[in-house]
Amino acid sequence: MTPKRKEPDLSTYSGRVAARLRMLRDRAGLSVEEVAAQLTELSKTEIDRFRIYKWESGIASPPYDFLPYLARIFGVSVRGLLPPK
C-alpha cells in the first residue's frame, strides 16, 4: 500500500528541492520503488521507498553523498537536482 503523499512546502528551499525530486522522478517515468532499487544498487546502501517519500515530501533531505547517484538516475547534473532560483 502506498502512503498518502504529503505535499512539500514550496515556500521553503527544502520544499522546493522535494518538489524538484518528485518532478524529475515523474519525468524519468520511474516509480518510487524503482528509484529506491537503483539508489540501493549504486550507493551500496539499503534505501527503501519510504525514505524516497520523505525526500519528496520535504520531511527529510537526501544526504549530500547521494546527490551524484540521484543525478545519474534522473539523467541530470547534480546542479540539475536543485530547483531554479
Whether 12 and 62 have beta carbons less than 8 Å apart is answered as: no
**Into how many domains does the chain fold?**
1
Residue whose C-alpha is closest to residue 14's, from 64, 55, 66, 46: 55
Whether 84 and 70 have beta carbons less than 8 Å apart is answered as: no
Q: Which amino acid is at 29?
A: G
Whether 28 and 81 have beta carbons less than 8 Å apart is answered as: no
CATH of the domain at 64: 1.10.260.40
**Alpha helices, DSSP H only, in 1-85?**
13-28, 32-43, 49-57, 67-74
Question: Which residues span the domain enclosing 66?
Answer: 13-77
pTM equals: 0.88
- pLDDT per residue, tens digit, the chain (85 aa), is 555 667 888 888 889 999 999 999 999 999 999 999 999 999 999 999 999 999 999 999 999 999 999 999 999 999 999 888 7
Q: Is residue 1 part of a domain?
A: no
